């Protein structure tokens, strides 16, 4: 009897890039020294993935849905629900969730600081003061508020007859607070917009005179006196990887949004000390934890976020540092320890984030799969251009998962 096969699936967020003139026309991946990752390309089969379709810049949520084999145009219902899952909140399929910011407004409701100074150690207590609000207009709707990091919260509306088709109250820059409006003509959207506006006013009424805000103002800090809501979303409507393929999967992903997508796909989210969504993440601990999880899981998903953050900052040096010191060290550690006769090692990105653009673009991303039975190609370096010459060719990201399922021997034959 053959041993059961499994997969380590690594996504380095926003890893792919475009040629950079200060690098002599190389991309950060081409310029970085990354012996482990290049070794992986040499022994594996390489290719490039269109995350959604050519020329469509994906958000990280939609990108990961695609990488996990789902069609985002079918299953995606906004960002909020995934944020709530990622933040460990209890959210049902009918609930609607939002990302929220504590902000500072003046008495004329003009937003003075969208992030209330960003540093907000009072966040937990301020969120608690709003938590559990019941709508006066629709008493069947309860509002749950959870503080996450800095000025950020997640807000969940629980109750029947709600919709995620409502606009943001956050103007996304300093200016006037915006009223939420329904984005379609259903009664559910109208109801949700009414509750959002009612709750926004309530947040101001409670927070305006909150003792912690009085204290903040005494210290010369901007008061966190309103919650701005954006990114309404419900849970994606989709079966888990276990339901689809019988796959038992775990993830190590510190970024709340990505962890939310993993949970929506049915993965167990594993906390690992030292693993952060930032530049200081400990990929050694991540790698060692992944090796342990392989005895229990068919698929272990690992996520590194800092490459994308560096790209949004236009910080080329930081991006190369993340590739050399974090991603490459992780791949080297795994290559040293896993048994490639039974374990597949997969590496890709969720989208291109060029340091020159500082945002996501629609370029395809490189991918490599190494492991038993893989028909390796002539590609010896992992980069945007090298992988374009690889044996996988150019495929849509949502076909990556079926390929892995087939390698694992879990696919079903089509036809007789």
Binding site for Zn ion (CB under 5 A): 13, 60, 308, 350
The span from the CA of 192 to the CA of 170, in Å, is: 16
Place of tokens 């590609």: 379
The span from the CA of 84 to the CA of 77, in Å, is: 13
- Closest approach of Cβ 108 to Zn ion, in Å? 34
Nearest alpha-carbon partner for 51 in 363, 358, 406? 363
Q: Which is nearer to Zn ion, 6 or 353 (CB)?
A: 353
Q: Which is nearer to Zn ion, 45 or 316 (CB)?
A: 316
Q: Which is nearer to Zn ion, 13 or 30 (CB)?
A: 13
Place of tokens 């919650």: 227
- Closest approach of Cβ 295 to Zn ion, in Å? 29
Q: Which is nearer to Zn ion, 16 or 241 (CB)?
A: 16
Q: How far is CA 177 from the centre of its chain?
A: 27
Q: Which is nearer to Zn ion, 95 or 350 (CB)?
A: 350
Q: Which is nearer to Zn ion, 6 or 60 (CB)?
A: 60
For 139, other C-beta atoms within 10 Å of its C-beta total 9
- Closest approach of Cβ 277 to Zn ion, in Å? 11
- Closest approach of Cβ 258 to Zn ion, in Å? 7
Q: Which is nearer to Zn ion, 156 or 265 (CB)?
A: 265
Residue 67 phi, psi (nearest 5) = -65, -25
For 71, other C-beta atoms within 10 Å of its C-beta total 13
Beta strand pairing status for 343-348 and 6-12?
parallel
- Closest approach of Cβ 59 to Zn ion, in Å? 7
- Closest approach of Cβ 13 to Zn ion, in Å? 4
- Closest approach of Cβ 120 to Zn ion, in Å? 23
Q: Where are the alpha helices (DSSP H) in 209-282?
A: 211-218, 241-245, 256-264
Contact 305, 280 (CB under 8 A): no
Residue nearest to Zn ion (CB): 60
Q: Which is nearer to Zn ion, 12 or 338 (CB)?
A: 12
Contact 320, 327 (CB under 8 A): no
- Closest approach of Cβ 56 to Zn ion, in Å? 14
Residue 158 bridge partners (DSSP): 142
Helix (H, G, I), strand (E, B) or coil at 198: helix
Contact 275, 285 (CB under 8 A): yes
- CA geometry: angle at 275 spanning 102 and 70, to 5°? 80
């Amino acid at each position: 009897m053959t041993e059961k096969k499994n997969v380590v699936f690594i996504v380095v967020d926003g890893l792919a890039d475009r040629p950079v003139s200060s690098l002599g026309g190389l991309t950060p991946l081409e310029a970085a020294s990354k012996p482990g990752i290049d070794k992986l390309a040499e022994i594996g089969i390489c290719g490039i993935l269109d995350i959604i379709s050519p020329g469509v810049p994906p958000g990280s949520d939609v990108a990961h849905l695609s990488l996990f084999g789902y069609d985002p145009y079918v299953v995606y219902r906004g960002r909020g629900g995934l944020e709530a899952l990622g933040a460990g909140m209890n959210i049902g399929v009918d609930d609607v969730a939002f990302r929220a910011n504590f902000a500072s407004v003046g008495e004329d409701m003009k937003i003075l600081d969208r992030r209330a100074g960003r540093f907000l150690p009072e966040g937990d207590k301020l969120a608690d003061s709003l938590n559990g609000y019941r709508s006066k207009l629709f008493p069947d709707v309860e509002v749950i508020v959870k503080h996450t990091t800095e000025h950020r919260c997640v807000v969940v509306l629980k109750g029947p007859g709600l919709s995620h088709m409502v606009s943001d109250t956050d103007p996304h820059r300093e200016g006037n607070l915006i009223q939420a409006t329904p984005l379609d003509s259903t009664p559910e959207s109208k109801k949700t917009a009414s509750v959002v506006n009612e709750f926004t006013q309530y947040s101001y009424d409670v927070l305006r005179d909150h003792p912690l805000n009085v204290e903040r103002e005494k210290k010369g800090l901007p008061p966190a006196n309103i919650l701005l809501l954006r990114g309404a979303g419900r849970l994606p409507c989709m079966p888990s990887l276990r339901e689809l393929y019988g796959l038992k999967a775990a993830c190590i992903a510190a970024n709340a949004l990505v962890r939310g997508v993993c949970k929506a796909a049915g993965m167990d989210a594993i906390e690992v000390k030292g693993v952060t969504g930032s530049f200081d993440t400990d990929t050694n601990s991540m790698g060692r934890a992944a090796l342990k999880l392989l005895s229990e899981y068919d698929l272990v998903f690992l996520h590194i976020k800092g490459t994308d953050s560096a790209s949004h900052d236009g910080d080329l040096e930081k991006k190369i540092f993340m590739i050399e010191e974090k991603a490459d060290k992780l791949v080297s550690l795994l290559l040293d320890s896993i048994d490639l006769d039974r374990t597949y090692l997969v590496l890709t990105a969720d989208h291109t984030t060029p340091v020159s653009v500082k945002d996501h673009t629609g370029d395809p991303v490189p991918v490599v799969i190494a492991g038993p039975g893989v028909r390796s190609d002539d590609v010896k370096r992992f980069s945007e251009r090298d992988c374009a010459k690889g044996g996988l060719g150019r495929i849509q990201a949502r076909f990556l998962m079926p390929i892995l399922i087939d390698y694992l021997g879990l696919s079903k034959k089509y036809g007789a």
